[in-house]
Amino acid sequence: MKKASIIILSFFLLFAVSCSKEDNKNQPLNNFDIVKEDEMQVQEEDNSLSRVQNAGKLVLGLDDTFAPMGFVGDNGEIVGFDIDLAREVAKRMGVQLETKPIDWGSSTSILTNGEIDVLWNGLNISDERKLYMNFSKPYLNNMLIIVKNNDDESINSIDDLAGKIVGVQYGGNYEQISNHPIVSQIKELRQYNGNIDALADLQNDRLNAVIIDDVFAQYYIAQKNAPFTIVYSTPFTDGLYAVGIKKSDKKLLEEIDKILDEIKSDGTASEISQKWFNKDLIIKQP
């Protein structure tokens, strides 16, 4: 009888252990396990550098009207400061540079969808963009400023935009100013796909002012002898240009940062800056 009781008890113990194991199989992993699993998956899937190297090209997305950073030159080819810089990086990476004009207003989604490898075209670092992409080390200073017609004496600061019709490029530049207090006081804020379209409307008196990147404004006014004045008294932002890279592409980011450090140190980046700006604007610190 005692032996039978032991057999029955053993049976129930085995049954309980079996049920316990089955229940545990259906339980979710703890947070630590999930994090570690995700980290391993990211490490396994980050073939970003080898992807570019195997393809033999680095695909760069740009707004091809954004001189002097990246634009269509007189020979029909895309040229510019950023293009020369990116081509040097691609060369040292052992690949060709492929430029791909895109709708800049959709640049973030085009990058995250994998249609391009990098956004490299006067791209300002911003908290908003950091939610969707990683940035390389900055290589150039920039700020958003106001451009007005030469004969307009009514605009001398940001506050003077109240009641005015103002243009700004859709996407990055708009994002940077959208929360500024003056925006609610502007009569109409028109968004444009390209800076050139906005400046054309300014010259034709369809706008009172344009909020624009300083480097582009200076280059455009000098090249076109455009009748514009830059208002520097109170810039909207004092930003930094960097390369935008998909968040999962960490190995590609590391390689680009490494090469940027090299061309800053050996003077190549400074030579490219002298070519386009007649001065060295490169941020040297790592």
Per-residue confidence in pLDDT tens, the chain, 286 aa: 544 444 444 544 444 444 443 444 334 334 334 344 444 444 568 899 999 999 999 999 999 988 899 999 999 999 999 999 999 999 999 999 999 999 988 999 999 999 999 999 999 898 889 999 999 999 998 889 999 999 999 999 999 999 999 999 987 788 888 889 999 999 999 999 888 999 999 999 999 999 998 888 888 888 888 999 999 877 787 789 999 999 999 999 999 999 999 999 999 999 999 899 878 889 987 5
- Model pLDDT, residue 21: 39
At residue 237, the pLDDT reads 77
Radius of gyration of the CA atoms of the chain, in A: 27
User: What is the predicted pLDDT for the residue at 44?
Assistant: 60
- Give the CB-side neighbour count of residue 128, counting CA atoms within 13 A: 12
* Overall fold of domain 51-139+242-277: D-Maltodextrin-Binding Protein; domain 2 (3.40.190)
What confidence score (pLDDT) does residue 38 get? 46
CA proximity to 52, closest of 98, 112, 107: 98
Question: How high is the pLDDT of residue 286?
Answer: 58
- Identify the CA nearest to 184 among candidates 207, 201, 161: 161
Q: What is the predicted pLDDT for the residue at 128?
A: 86
pLDDT at 179: 87
Nearest Cα to Cα of residue 81 among 58, 62, 109, 94: 62
* Alpha carbons 242 and 123: distance in angstroms, whole number: 6
What span, in angstroms and rounded, lies between the C-alpha atoms of 169 and 17? Answer: 65
Q: Hey, what's the torsion of the CAs at 232, 237, 241, 244, to 10 degrees?
A: -150
Residues of the chain with CATH 3.40.190.10: 51-139+242-277, 142-239
For helices 81-93 and 268-277, the axis angle rounded to 10 degrees is: 160
d(CA 2, CA 4): 5
Asked: is 142-239 a CATH 3.40.190.10 domain? The reply is: yes
Output the pLDDT for position 172: 73
Supply the pLDDT for residue 15: 46
Structure tokens at 61: 């997305």
